[in-house]
Structure 1
């Protein structure tokens, strides 16, 4: 598996300022080069770690989730990663190796590792290798429902989960689902969507889920509301609920993105 890994740095003074960055009422595009040294952040209780915030709850922006790309240097990590009681999380490793400690057990993570952490899970993460490790961290406030149990921890790998072809596409469009989509205990899904060259979303999807899309590999032209936008590995897209979207993957290689969406809950009746 191949995943884009941001390396920071800073564009040279000779670089053009004109970019593909867009921020609208319906969608946003954060190009890969935005993840530079000057846009990185730090977190309390994390050592030798920096991160780029791709999405956060904000008026006119993401409403249901936050998403980071986190870079952990050798010897770095945290035994107290998140003090928010209702926060659930998905971790997806794109580079290097880490040791996850959760519920008293250690689990080695490498490129392609996927972890779901329910709210209240006691966990920590350490880089005990001699190379930098990078992972995506998606956080959401879990929506509890009376009579519905909280999901358990899930640890798996992209390499171990067979992509499921979308109907009538001949495998040109497929989705890697890390949890059962019919399991209503989960109120978010984080999947990987894959398009082979020439694969398309052949109609403008317009539906209730909010989306976060990080391009792991390849390039494509993506319809966002009324605009066709070129995107490539390392770009992030945020789509508001009901924002029309479609896609055309022109190649030459496959196009893959990490997809967040909120699912399996009644829409809130107040905002």
Structure 2
């Protein structure tokens, strides 16, 4: 792996799609101001860099930077697609090869943290990723954050994700319950339109740290759609404070 030997790695996992895993990933890297890699093509748009291109030279690929300070760098399958609407029709071996390229051929530089937004579920991509991390002695410096929604179906899927982490010896840093209630854009009152407490109950059951519950916030969704940093745009808001609290609780 072409990263700092002391680099800490955070994998953001979910048992199913549509639970807000990529939203959580983008807010984490924006708040930390560190470097990120993603296997998911939506991240460039959510960071406002979907018009950028990656460059390759004899020493490898240059990641895409979010601004001129080059404090946050991104690599994504999304940069390799001709159009953002293109589907990724790749068989397992090609996906696994691309994961290895992202970790070994990208010039990540001497940075402290790598956040990896992974596909939902447990698949060949996850196994290949962990094999690379283990081979480079980074697995013991890595943790996972599991994202769920309050519904039983989503929670059950995350139970399987937790079992995957246990079997592969990937430590779970905590569980986030997303879409935990709806924040009214007019009065800011939070209403539980789904069930409540599934993530916290799961954390208790698995003896994991419950990192926090994020309500449905229209402004957060709008920030993701427009590629803006929600925490910076709405500093001091309740949801921004929850996000910051979640980030501060993550430990390696």
TM-score higher than 0.5:
no
- Which structure has more helix as a fraction of its residues? 2
Greater relative CO (CA pairs within 8 A, separation 6+): 2
- TM-score band by shorter chain is 0.3 to 0.5
- Which structure has more strand as a fraction of its residues? 1
